[in-house]
Each structure stands twice: as structure tokens, then as C-alpha cells.
Amino acid sequence: MSYLRLSTVWTRAALLLAVAVCAPDAGAETARVEFNDIPRLIRERNQAVSGAALQAGAAKKREGSLLRSFLPSAFVEAGAERFQMGEYGYKNQPFGSAEVQLNLFRGGRDYWQERLRRSLAVAAGASASEAVALQTAEARSAFWRLIHAREVGALIKKAEAENLLLLERADRRIRRGLAAQTDRLEFEIQASQLSEDRESAAHSELQLRLRLGALLGFAEGGEIETPLAIEHLHDESLLTHSFDPDAHREAAALRAQRDKARAESRSASLWWAPSLDAYAGKYMYTLRDRDYLSASLRDDFAVGAKLGLRLFDGGAERAEARAKGLEADGEEKRLAQRRADLKARVRIIEEDLKHDHELVHFAEERILMSRRYFNSTLEEYDRGVKNSPDVLAAAQRLFGYERQLAERRRDYQLTKTGLLQEHGL
């Protein structure tokens, strides 16, 4: 008896430990997520999107270099040194300078440098838009897949309840001598298969909940509430939404690459252009630099202009200009092809969306017919006309069609997510 009591205590302890481990954390975050909330949550909480936005902002800050290049620059230098030279003993003397420089002309290179920075800012903006689109699409996909996993779990529980009723019917027939024990085994095997399916659905749900929570910036382990099933609403407005391939972020990125190469080509082609700068400054030298004992004689002032002209560079800049020009031409051709690809891609997704819509309605019609077939088979089973394999096959077919309908509604929403991604919505 003592052994049995000890075994019972350990069993209860193990059950309590399992409940404690599996129970949700009381302090974990619980959030209700609707489909229309996802873009806002992605922009507010997704760190990849926030990081891309900061990088785009950084590139934007670099614009305005043309105006800044014509603003004066000022330099101040001050110090002191101990030195000994010639017949003089060791001396300690200060030195310093203050100089202002002003760019007057640089052969147009400042203008193309500004165009280059503008192209980089556009490219960074396109990259930020791509990050938003990708993260939003992935979150929407995880959202629909999570609802589908929960819907499948509910369908499996419903099938388990129906299978239990069928098992009870089989038991009644066995007790009345109308069926053999194998009839019971048919439904017991089905119960085992449904239990396995339920476990797989729960596993998938957990994975998708963790993924969606990470994308939306929720605390790990938090619960996410969603609609219980995927509604099928045919969105005609999305199919009639106009699509401009030039407004697509991929086209914007290629245009930015083309403009960047053109700016680099033009800047390199101006290697020969002169530069003109004005300057003014005050300079204090030590005796080591000016051979005057009096500090006032070592105090200089200067104002002037400086002209620079590059005569020959071995052809390096000219070659670079030609190379960048070819790069720009290559990007232009890539852009033309990308426009055609984007149009085709959107058209394909639109056709997929129409096709998925039709498949949903086919599945709905099949379920109605399968439900009538199952009910008729069940009546005939009670009358002894049909046997347990017939009933089980009808039940499995009905469950399969219900599961197929859930999958097709999910596929419709996943296709719609792809179309929303292409439109940048």
C-alpha cells in the first residue's frame, strides 16, 4: 500500500508540473490582431522596417551637398612648440592660423555630386519601401496561416466528436448482433488518426503564432487572438486597381541605380574642368618658419584666389566615365525589362486570385453534396443497408472536403496578400 501511495503522489506531482509548464504565462502579453491592423503594427513595431527607415533618413540627410559646397569653410589652428635652431638657444613660441575658404567654381562636379547623393537617397527610400512590403506580406501570410491552423484544429475536433458518435452507433449495432467487432476498430483507428492530425495542427499553430508575434514586435510567449475562421469575400475592387510599374519600388530602385551611374559618369567626364577657390587667412609663425625675432614680423595676413587645372591623368577618369556610362545604359535596359516583368507578375496574380475564388465555390458545392451523401449513408447504416467502412468513407470524404475548403480560403487570402504587396498596399 505504501508503494501505491508513493506512486500516486509522484503521479500527481508530475501532472501538476506538466500543467505549470504548459499553462500560459500570466504576465504574457495578449493581443487581438485583425488583418487591417497589420500594416500599422509593422510600421510601429517591426525593427527591420524601423532600421530601413533610419537608413533612408540617413541617405536623405546627405542631400543638399550642392548648396553646402558653396558655403564658406573655416579652419583654426593653434599650438606651441619648443625648438632650437642654429646659434639660437632653446625657445618656446606659439603658432597658429585662421583661414576661410570659399568654393567659387568646380567645373560642374558639385552639381553631379548632388545628383549622385539624390540617387542614393531614392535607392534607400526604395529599399525601405521594400522592407515594409516584405515584412507586411510575411506578417499577413503568417496571420492567414495561423487562422487556418486554428480552423483546421476546430474541424478536427468536430470530426472527433462525430467519430465518437459513429463509434457509439457501431457499439449499438454490435450489441444487437448486427455488426462485428471490426466495425468498432474502424472508428478507433480513425480516432487515432484524428488525434495525430490535431497534434500536428496545434504544432503548426504554435510555430505560426511565434512567427507572427516576432514580426509584429510582440513579447515572446504572448497570446495572439485572431478571427476563428477565414471569411471568403471576393475583392473586385483590388482586381480593378490600376497598376503603374514605374511607381513600383523595384522600378524606383533600378532608376536610382541608373541615375547614380549617370551622375558618376558625368562627374568623371569633367576631370579636366578647372576649379576656383577664394581664401583669406591670418597666420602666426614661429622663428623656425620665419627668421625674425620679433613676433609681429612673423604675423602674416593673406587674401587671394586659387585656380586649379588638371592637365592629364593618364586617361583614368575618361575610362571611368565610359564605364559608368555603360553601367547606366545597362540599368536602363534592366529597368525596361523590369517594367514588363512587373506587369506580367501582377496580371498572373490577378488571374490566380480569380481562379482561387472559383475553387472556393467548387469546394463549397462539394461540401453540400458530401453532407447529403453522409446523412443518407448514416440512415442506411442504421437500417443495416450500409456497413461501417461505408460510413467511415463518407465521414472521411466530408472531413476532407471541409478541410479542403479551409485550405482554399487560405490560398485565396495568400494570393490576395501577394497582390496587395505588388500594389504597395
**Contacts for 98 with CB less than 8 Å, ≥ 6 apart:** 74, 75, 76, 77, 281, 282
Q: What's the one-letter identity of residue 425?
A: L
Q: Determine how β-strand 223-225 pairs with β-strand 30-32.
A: parallel
User: Cα separation of 425 and 411, whole Å?
Assistant: 19
Which pLDDT score, from 0 to 100, does residue 49 have?
Answer: 95
User: Cα separation of 163 and 14, whole Å?
Assistant: 31
**At residue 63, does pLDDT exceed 50?**
yes
**At residue 312, does pLDDT exceed 70?**
yes
pLDDT > 70 fraction of the chain, expressed in percent and rounded: 93
Which pLDDT score, from 0 to 100, does residue 28 have?
Answer: 59
Q: Pick the residue with more confidence: 236 or 199?
A: 199
51-63 exposure pattern, b = at least 16 Cβ within 10 A, e = fewer: ebbeebeebbeee
**At residue 5, does pLDDT exceed 70?**
no
User: For residues 148 and 227, is the Cβ–Cβ distance under 8 A?
Assistant: no
User: For residues 124 and 79, is the Cβ–Cβ distance under 8 A?
Assistant: no
User: Cα separation of 41 and 138, whole Å?
Assistant: 13
User: What residues are paired with 308 via a beta bridge?
Assistant: 275
Q: Which residue, among 352, 300, 249, 350, has the nearest Cα to 96 in the 3D structure?
A: 300
Each domain of the chain, given as residue ranges in start order, spans: 35-69+106-274+309-423
User: For residues 392 and 186, is the Cβ–Cβ distance under 8 A?
Assistant: yes
**Contacts for 415 with CB less than 8 Å, ≥ 6 apart:** 349, 352, 353, 356
Tell me the three-class secondary structure of the chain, residue by residue: CHHHHHHHHHHHHHHHHHHHHHCCCCCCCEEECCHHHHHHHHHHHCHHHHHHHHHHHHHHHCCCHHHHHCCCEEEEEEEEEEECCCCCCCEEEEEEEEEEEEEEECCCHHHHHHHHHHHHHHHHHHHHHHHHHHHHHHHHHHHHHHHHHHHHHHHHHHHHHHHHHHHHHHHHHHHCCCCCHHHHHHHHHHHHHHHHHHHHHHHHHHHHHHHHHHHCCCCCCCEEECCCCCCCCCCHHHHCCCCCHHHCHHHHHHHHHHHHHHHHHHHHHCCCCCEEEEEEEEEECCCCCCCCCCHHHHEEEEEEEEEECCCCCCCHHHHHHHHHHHHHHHHHHHHHHHHHHHHHHHHHHHHHHHHHHHHHHHHHHHHHHHHHHHHHHHHHHHHCCCCHHHHHHHHHHHHHHHHHHHHHHHHHHHHHHHHHHHHCC
**At residue 10, does pLDDT exceed 50?**
no
Q: How far apart are the first and last CA of the chain?
A: 70
**Contacts for 198 with CB less than 8 Å, ≥ 6 apart:** 153, 156, 157, 160
pLDDT > 90 fraction of the chain, expressed in percent and rounded: 64
User: For residues 197 and 156, is the Cβ–Cβ distance under 8 A?
Assistant: yes
Which pLDDT score, from 0 to 100, does residue 172 have?
Answer: 83
**At residue 294, does pLDDT exceed 70?**
yes
Which pLDDT score, from 0 to 100, does residue 104 have?
Answer: 86
pTM for the full model? Answer: 0.83
Evaluate whether the domain defined by 35-69+106-274+309-423 bears CATH number 3.40.140.10.
no
User: For residues 252 and 125, is the Cβ–Cβ distance under 8 A?
Assistant: yes
User: Cα separation of 137 and 143, whole Å?
Assistant: 10
User: Cα separation of 250 and 190, whole Å?
Assistant: 51
pLDDT band at 17 (very low <50, low <70, confident <90, very high): very low
User: Cα separation of 151 and 162, whole Å?
Assistant: 17
**At residue 381, does pLDDT exceed 90?**
no
Rg of the chain in Å (alpha carbons): 38
User: For residues 138 and 213, is the Cβ–Cβ distance under 8 A?
Assistant: no
Which pLDDT score, from 0 to 100, does residue 186 have?
Answer: 87
- What the block records as the C-alpha cell of 252 is 524606383
Q: What is the mean pLDDT of the chain?
A: 88
Distances in Å between the alpha carbon of 413 and those of 152, 233, 330, 349, 373? 16, 9, 37, 12, 30
